């Protein structure tokens, strides 16, 4: 083997090791489908999104678990909608981290015992998301205008949406990670849901539109970056 071939082989092996380690670091710990069902005068309307939860395996984020995915947009027809944000409201603050643990805690509540982070990917079945696990719900009078956002109470959705509308329930379902990062669907695994910018077009425009929407909904004010994370995370 020539000197050049030897070094080429070593560099190729090093590249494989580096790429493999990056996949290990960035691969989701688990994915789950968050589904929102709403009763309407025209029947039950459903929206769902697959979210990926990524632990900090390299500890370069201070051990902080992160999320990939988007808020769940439910088209209710008749120009109405409901959006489940990637956020919870705790007291007077907007919590952007609790969404990472919705599936974990929902399965624990349904099973009647604690489910560990390492075991969540092995859970099966669909479980209800109830009480404090329900993320912030909002509705837009005009999805093209962030200033039309209004908060929706899970037990009194008709106050904002009108007579005949009610939040029927939210559920979580763990789905396979698939062959990340080539989880493009089908046998490769379910990809993280994308496309909310087509429904809320102002999200695709740099600026403070996301913060404007949260403020219009009466939610605690956060920075521009944090505000956008309530709707979408890469």
User: pLDDT tens for residues 213-234?
Assistant: 999 999 997 888 899 999 999 9
Which residues pair with residue 90 across a beta bridge? 93
d(CA 213, CA 199): 14
Where is pLDDT greater, at 90 or 134? Answer: 134
Percentage, residues of the chain above pLDDT 70: 88
Res 59: pLDDT: 60
Res 188: pLDDT: 84
Q: What is the residue whose two structure tokens read 């899970």?
A: 154
User: What's the mean per-residue pLDDT of the chain?
Assistant: 90
Res 1: pLDDT: 54
Confidence tier at 17 by pLDDT (50, 70, 90): low
Res 21: pLDDT: 46
Lowest mean pLDDT, pick from 18-27, 28-37, 101-110, 127-136: 18-27
DSSP code at position 193: P
Please check whether residue 92 is in contact with residue 171, taking contact to mean a CB–CB distance below 8 angstroms. Answer: no
Per residue in 104-127, pLDDT (tens digit) is: 999 999 999 999 988 999 999 999
Average pLDDT of span 189-213: 95
Q: Strands of the chain (E only): list them.
A: 30-40, 43-54, 66-70, 72-77, 80-84, 88-90, 93-95, 126-129, 137-140, 149-151, 166-175, 232-233
Res 183: pLDDT: 84
């Amino acid at each position: 083997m020539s000197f050049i071939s030897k070094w080429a082989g070593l560099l190729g092996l090093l590249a494989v090791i580096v790429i493999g380690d990056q996949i290990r670091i960035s691969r989701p710990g688990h994915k789950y489908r968050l589904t929102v069902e709403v009763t309407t005068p025209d029947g039950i309307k459903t929206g769902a999104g697959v979210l990926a939860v990524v632990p900090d395996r390299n500890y370069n984020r201070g051990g902080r678990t992160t999320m990939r995915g988007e808020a769940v947009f439910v088209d209710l027809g008749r120009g109405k909608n409901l959006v489940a944000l990637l956020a919870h409201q705790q007291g007077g603050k907007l919590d952007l981290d609790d969404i990472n643990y919705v599936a974990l805690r929902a399965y624990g509540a349904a099973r009647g015992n604690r489910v560990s982070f390492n075991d969540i990917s092995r859970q099966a079945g669909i479980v209800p998301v109830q009480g404090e696990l329900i993320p912030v719900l909002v509705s837009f009078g005009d999805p093209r205008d962030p200033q039309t956002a209004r908060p929706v109470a899970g037990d009194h959705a008709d106050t904002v949406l009108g007579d005949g509308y009610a939040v029927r329930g939210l559920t979580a379902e763990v789905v396979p990670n698939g062959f990340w990062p080539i989880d493009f669907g089908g046998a490769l695994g379910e990809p993280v849901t994308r496309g909310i910018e087509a429904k809320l077009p102002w999200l695709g425009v740099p600026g403070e539109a996301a913060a404007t929407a949260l403020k219009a909904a009466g939610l605690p004010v956060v920075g521009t970056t944090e505000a956008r994370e309530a709707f979408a995370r890469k």
